[in-house]
Amino acid sequence: MKICLYPYTEQSGIGTYILELKKVFKDSVAIKPVKTTFFGKIPPIIYLNYYLINKKLEKKIDDINPDLFFTSDLIPFTNIKCKKIEVAWDYPKPIIECFRLAKKYSPWYLLPYFFFREIEFSLLNRISLKKNNKIIAINKKIENRLGELDVVYIPPGINVKENKEKKYDKFTICFIARNHIWTKRKGLKYLLDALFELEKYNLDYELVIIGNIPFYHNLKLNKYKKNKFFKKIKTTGLLSREETLKILSKSHLLAAPSLFDELGFVILEALSLGIPLITSDNYAFTEILTDKCGIITNIKDKKRFSEDLLKLINNKKIINDMGKEAIKRIKENYSWDVLMPKLKRVIDNI
């Protein structure tokens, strides 16, 4: 069977998940996502772009002539001839939910823009999902919200490999946001504020921040230069997935304080490497994480967040025990050995 894969975007978690399938489906073909300029993302140009990109994609798929098209992107303006599976990492939302979500993670001066984008995204989502033979929900909440469609819950899978990397000598906390690290919803501000609270304990650790930092966001980071706390922060910029995983493999803890995320693939990557986590309580994380392999904290409560960080930084035994439980959790629930039979059944049925 010839399978064609199309990721949402290569730098996103859901895009990484789709590209991981390339390793599982040996004869599959992966199409690179079409990139667009900043101006190409501004309405009304974006709508013309959607149409043109979808039509260009449709022609590429026809040329490949696959038996199955497997995507995580929205494809509302296509008429693809083969069978189609879409991985749903979000769901169409009513207007009030669009407003609440935009308010949650956007700064006040950009609220109208993000509110409009949430509505637009929900409409495109609704059109796109109906064009598929089967929908795979990446978590149970999405499965419940798409109940009227032909949907099945299969979480993202990952290959579990032994982590042979030697840990950094200094306790290292890793923060990864591959695109823009300082967008409000990624929660970096809450992490920095909580770590700053711990300065009175004179702890020896390093925070490694991996991701793209636009110039105007760099100015926000610079405010921490006023004291010695800044010396504990190392920024790497945007790295390849291989470089990112190498740093993560040597780290002691992954911090994922996002206000909202549809999928935390980096969480699966960390747990599979035996790296425990400290995360926010958003639904994409709490479904994957248990208290045996990490801590779910209230990131907006600076005192609580800092106390939970202190508990992990100061206790190597907790870190080691959580790391062992993390690998066990992934092997039993998220490894391809467990999930591939379910995925193959879906493919065979359509």
Please say whether the beta carbons of 23 and 31 come within 8 A.
no
* Domains defined for the chain, CATH in brackets: 3-157+336-349 (3.40.50.2000), 171-333 (3.40.50.2000)
pLDDT score of 110: 83
pLDDT band of residue 220 (cuts 50, 70, 90) is low
Distance CA 167, CA 200 (A): 26
The mean pLDDT value for 289-299 works out to 95
Backbone φ, ψ for residue 26 (5° rounding): -60, -35
Per-residue pLDDT reduced to its tens digit, 63-76:
999 999 999 998 89
| Span of 102-116, 157-171, 282-296 with lowest mean pLDDT | 102-116
| CA pair distance 339, 198, nearest whole angstrom | 41
Reported as a pLDDT band with limits 50, 70 and 90, residue 53 is confident
Confidence of residue 40 (pLDDT cuts 50, 70, 90): low
pLDDT at 133 exceeding the cut of 90: yes
- In single-letter form, the type of residue at position 168 comes to Y
For residue 53, what are the CA distances in angstroms to 48, 140, 143, 153?
A: 9, 31, 28, 29
